[in-house]
Amino acid sequence: MSVPQVSSEDLKQATAVHLENIQRNIERRLQVARTQGDQVLIHLLEAEREQVMADRPPIDQLFAEFNLPT
């Protein structure tokens, strides 16, 4: 069974969608924590959101780190 070839553009798009989904998931969890008044969880999720956003390199840089074609 052969592995299908994926273009670098498709891979970039999938990576971008994946990162957006992570961000959206954190926001959804934050909304629930706020509704429940869970201050500890709110603090943890805000820290997680900051880390994800701060550590999110441009997709071209991410591809370069893994020697993927851009």
**How many Å apart are CA 44 and CA 35, to the nearest integer?**
15
Q: pTM value?
A: 0.69
Q: Please, which pLDDT band fits residue 70 given cuts at 50, 70 and 90?
A: low
Tens digit of each residue's pLDDT (9 = 90 or more) over 7-64: 878 888 888 888 889 999 999 999 999 999 999 999 999 999 988 887 666 777 767 7
**How many Å apart are CA 55 and CA 35, to the nearest integer?**
28
Q: How open is the CA angle 57-45-15, to the nearest 5 degrees?
A: 30
Q: What separation, in Å, do the N-terminal and C-terminal C-alpha atoms of the chain show?
A: 27
